[in-house]
Structure 1
Amino acid sequence: MERAQAIWPEFRPEWVLFEDDSIVVVNKPPGVSTQAANPAVPDDLVTRLRRFLSERNGAGPELPYLGVHQRLDKGTSGAMVFTKDPAANAGLARQFEERTIEKGYVAGVIGWKGSTPTTLEHWLSRQKGRSMAVDRKAVPGAKKAVLFVDEARKRGPRTLLRVRLGTGRTHQIRAQLAAEGAPVVGDAEYGREPGPRLLLHAYRLRFTHPVTGEGMDVEAPLPACFNLWLEGEGMSALADRDGPPGRTAPTFRDALEGRLRDALEARFGLGRRSPDTDCFRLVHGAADGLPGMALDRYGDFLVAHLEEGAVIGGGEGALDAVGDLGFRGVYVKYRPRQANELVDTRRDDLAPAHAVRGEDAPEEFTVFQHGLPFRVRLGDGLSTGLFLDQRMNREYVRDTCRGLRVLNLFAYTCPFTVAAAAGGAAETVSVDVARPAIDWGQRNVEALGSDGAHRFVREDVFPYLERLGRRGERFDLVLVDPPTYATTKRSRFRSGADWVRLAEAVAKVVHPGGRLLCCS
């Protein structure tokens, strides 16, 4: 827990852009909600800032006052102002209501064809869900939205726009720019243009101090990935560039550290607020602006998965940056470019048996997901004994299998069986062709100490299903999570091509009204 607190501090002091006794202006990172979406996991900016101020000032357990006058979408970064003294509320609120506060943004867009400066006027109305519908003329129920586009820097189809809000409507910048055919990059809701993140940053706040009357002009530095994206440079373009003398462009290490920090903050709720879960995916490749790299947390250790040929994973600098995140040790797994490429998964050049940064983990140790214990080995080939991406599916199994008869096919080390046993399944049968895996799975289930009957079968899945069918055995819940490719003495399975054959065989052993959970 102490290490998690160091890796995920409540708040980073460098985020504070300005502070006095009345107000505080902070630079919100992307991936952090302004206010808590889930009160059970208070990982929002407001709660974290209040706890930071309390700890820093030695105020005890009672959190200090913080007045909220604005919000930014979760994916948007940049400057936000809060009041620390209720006496400052009226003066600041008046400026927001009268729209005398200047809020400047930088947006990275694709397809901008307009001139600058220009003013965009639309009418916005809420659709089902959270998205806003955009019209060019007044319609019933819609509110007028005004956006000032002040400046543009273009590189081919890519443009960085400086924009100012004339009104304060939900999703205004994103919706209006998308309506002009220039969606914000990384916006899955309005544009679907891929990018390293949502390229929207609140770079400037100009306002009058609500207590002193002083003119305030606070800027939040533009994240490095904006200019890299504009120049068409991904992480790979920086891999061997340290930057010539006098150049202020970010180096590979600078850009990599920035993306890693953003990924850490996006998982703050898991890392700091979920003590019953200490293993999860920390970095998810291109989705976190780091193509070719995935990072998985296992307790106090990290496993880096690097795709073969990916420049980001090719240099020692990448592993140095990962090692500096603060975990006890870092293991690396080099993944073949093709998933169906057959390799010896225990080759030391693909999966070193020892940590490449920091210290070695115990040969086998226990991690937890939603309180369920699983034994893992980080130095035993390309696999660790636990596929982290099935965490929510295992939670579903635990919550819905009380009193059921459960069949777990391609069971591997039996994580689904652990979930079923913890959920009170009356009986489980776990099937896998690999003796080491099924023995490992049996230890996992036995460590749980659950009631119920649990059988572990070392056999090829397809012949075993045929035998179950002939015996007329039926199950209330059947779990199927096959490997992408598998070859045994008696059968061969390829994900996609053989799914129909597998589903037909499995359907014969599911009770009428039973359930089949297929994972891939």
Structure 2
Amino acid sequence: MAALRALDEAVVSLHLEDARGGEARFFELTFHVGGDDEEIPALDEAEQVGVEGKGRLVEVVREDVLGPVRPSRVAWTGESGYVFEIDLGGYLDTGIFLDHRMTRELVGSMAEGARFLNLFAYTGTATVHAAGGGAASTVTVDLSQTYLSWAERNMKLNGFSGRNHRFVRSDVVRWITEERASKRRYDLIFVDPPTFSNSKAMGKDTWSVQRDHAELLIGVSRLLARGGKAVFSCNLRSFKPDTETLERYGARLTDITADTIPEDFARNPKIHRCYLVERIETS
């Protein structure tokens, strides 16, 4: 979405996963980008969603289905001694976000002996770093079976398998609520949610990281064991944490963004925001 800020109208191909049948297909979408105060007329089968920038709206109009998944161009890449599967043809993204490589290294450095949880796990690259850093166990949670299977392949590529490494397909927010009712707690959690989501698998729910992050992180803090920490990252450049609400409910954020920006992204330090999350005692 952020790439559309400078465009008045763009037609792009977007990879969407059909949650009902599990079949990934390509749709052509037209994006109409409105200004700060511009009203965008309602169109059939269109949805207005918030994007980066005050008051800006994008209207997404679904066009014809272009056909099945484009041919994959599977390759492998190395990072910090690990091997990751990437796809240079079948998706808009390749399976690994380069701006997060220092964040993944941080996760690995904190993982010794930890019960590790990866939320919105994507292709599980952070789970690999945690396992390689000596995590006692890992749980990897994502809504997409496509990405969850990819995460499992990445783990196996690096020699990590077995009962100590679980993969859970679930809506993350709902899963956190259910997990809080259990006795399972985690020493280290990595949470890297999307900026926005309206996946069919979420039903009528939508997700906005600016709107929903406080509730998410309060839930995450309740899954932390005593002394545990979470690493929270997001890519919304205008993101402003609701520290007042978080601290009221016993979650403290420490901004570590500057320590997680690789040198080759230094010219664009707003590429992501990153925080440590800790649970604090409230009176």
TM-score normalised by the chain length of structure 1: 0.32
1:469 aligns with 2:183: no
- 1:419 pairs with 129, 152, 169, which one? 129
User: 3-state DSSP class of the match of 1:412?
Assistant: coil
Post-superposition shift, 1:450? 3.0
Post-superposition shift, 1:483? 0.5
Instruction: Within 5 Å, give how 1:284-433 maps onto structure 2.
Output: 338=51, 341=58, 342=60, 363-433=73-143
Go from structure 1 to structure 2 and tell me whether the alpha carbon gap of 1:480 and 1:490 turns closer, same or farther (over 3 Å shift). Answer: farther
1:508 aligns with 2:218: no
- For 1:514, the aligned partner's letter is G
Go from structure 1 to structure 2 and tell me whether the alpha carbon gap of 1:343 and 1:420 turns closer, same or farther (over 3 Å shift). Answer: farther
- For 1:486, the aligned partner's letter is S
Q: CA RMSD, aligned part only?
A: 3.3
Go from structure 1 to structure 2 and tell me whether the alpha carbon gap of 1:479 and 1:505 turns closer, same or farther (over 3 Å shift). Answer: same
Partner of 2:192: 481
Aligned 8 A contact 1:460 1:490 in 2: no
Go from structure 1 to structure 2 and tell me whether the alpha carbon gap of 1:500 and 1:517 turns closer, same or farther (over 3 Å shift). Answer: same
Task: State the Cα deviation string for residues 170-193 of structure 1 (Å, max 9, x = none).
Answer: xxxxxxxxxxxxxxxxxxxxxxxx
Aligned 8 A contact 2:110 2:188 in 1: no
Go from structure 1 to structure 2 and tell me whether the alpha carbon gap of 1:503 and 1:335 turns closer, same or farther (over 3 Å shift). Answer: farther
Partner of 1:458: 169
| Partner Cα separation in structure 1 for residue 88 and residue 121 of structure 2 | 19
Go from structure 1 to structure 2 and tell me whether the alpha carbon gap of 1:379 and 1:309 turns closer, same or farther (over 3 Å shift). Answer: farther
> Which aligned segments of 4 or more residues in structure 1 are displaced greater than 6 angstroms?
334-337
| Partner Cα separation in structure 2 for residue 449 and residue 510 of structure 1 | 27
| Rg larger for | 1
Task: State the Cα deviation string for residues 34-59 of structure 1 (Å, max 9, x = none).
Answer: xxxxxxxxxxxxxxxxxxxxxxxxxx
Post-superposition shift, 1:491? 3.7
Partner of 1:497: 211
Go from structure 1 to structure 2 and tell me whether the alpha carbon gap of 1:309 and 1:506 turns closer, same or farther (over 3 Å shift). Answer: closer
Task: State the Cα deviation string for residues 300-349 of structure 1 (Å, max 9, x = none).
Answer: xxxxx9757569xxxxxxxxxxxxxxxxxxxxxx99665674577xx87x
Go from structure 1 to structure 2 and tell me whether the alpha carbon gap of 1:418 and 1:307 turns closer, same or farther (over 3 Å shift). Answer: same
Task: State the Cα deviation string for residues 246-266 of structure 1 (Å, max 9, x = none).
Answer: xxxxxxxxxxxxxxxxxxxxx
Partner of 1:437: 147
- For 2:206, the aligned partner's letter is R
Aligned 8 A contact 1:409 1:482 in 2: yes
Task: State the Cα deviation string for residues 457-484 of structure 1 (Å, max 9, x = none).
Answer: 0001112111111112110001110001
Instruction: Within 5 Å, give how 1:4-153 maps onto structure 2.
Output: none
Go from structure 1 to structure 2 and tell me whether the alpha carbon gap of 1:471 and 1:391 turns closer, same or farther (over 3 Å shift). Answer: same
Aligned 8 A contact 1:421 1:451 in 2: no
Post-superposition shift, 1:386? 1.1
Post-superposition shift, 1:381? 2.8
User: 3-state DSSP class of the match of 1:416?
Assistant: helix
| Partner Cα separation in structure 1 for residue 220 and residue 147 of structure 2 | 21
| Partner Cα separation in structure 1 for residue 214 and residue 170 of structure 2 | 21
- For 2:111, the aligned partner's letter is C
User: 3-state DSSP class of the match of 2:211?
Assistant: coil
User: 3-state DSSP class of the match of 1:471?
Assistant: coil
| Partner Cα separation in structure 2 for residue 381 and residue 445 of structure 1 | 20
Post-superposition shift, 1:401? 0.5
Go from structure 1 to structure 2 and tell me whether the alpha carbon gap of 1:451 and 1:400 turns closer, same or farther (over 3 Å shift). Answer: farther
Aligned 8 A contact 2:75 2:88 in 1: no
Q: Alignment length, in residue pairs?
A: 186
| Partner Cα separation in structure 1 for residue 206 and residue 4 of structure 2 | 26
Post-superposition shift, 1:489? 1.9
Post-superposition shift, 1:371? 2.1
Aligned 8 A contact 2:155 2:161 in 1: no
- For 2:222, the aligned partner's letter is K
User: 3-state DSSP class of the match of 1:406?
Assistant: strand
- For 1:424, the aligned partner's letter is G
Q: Structure 2: which 5+ residue stretches go unaligned?
A: 9-28, 34-50, 235-283
Go from structure 1 to structure 2 and tell me whether the alpha carbon gap of 1:343 and 1:412 turns closer, same or farther (over 3 Å shift). Answer: farther
Q: Structure 1: which 5+ residue stretches go unaligned?
A: 1-304, 312-333, 355-361
Partner of 1:27: none
| Partner Cα separation in structure 1 for residue 96 and residue 30 of structure 2 | 17
User: 3-state DSSP class of the match of 2:167?
Assistant: strand
Instruction: Within 5 Å, give how 1:186-205 maps onto structure 2.
Output: none
TM-score normalised by the chain length of structure 2: 0.58
- For 2:122, the aligned partner's letter is Y
User: 3-state DSSP class of the match of 1:424?
Assistant: coil
| Partner Cα separation in structure 2 for residue 514 and residue 440 of structure 1 | 28
Go from structure 1 to structure 2 and tell me whether the alpha carbon gap of 1:309 and 1:500 turns closer, same or farther (over 3 Å shift). Answer: closer
| Partner Cα separation in structure 1 for residue 215 and residue 91 of structure 2 | 30
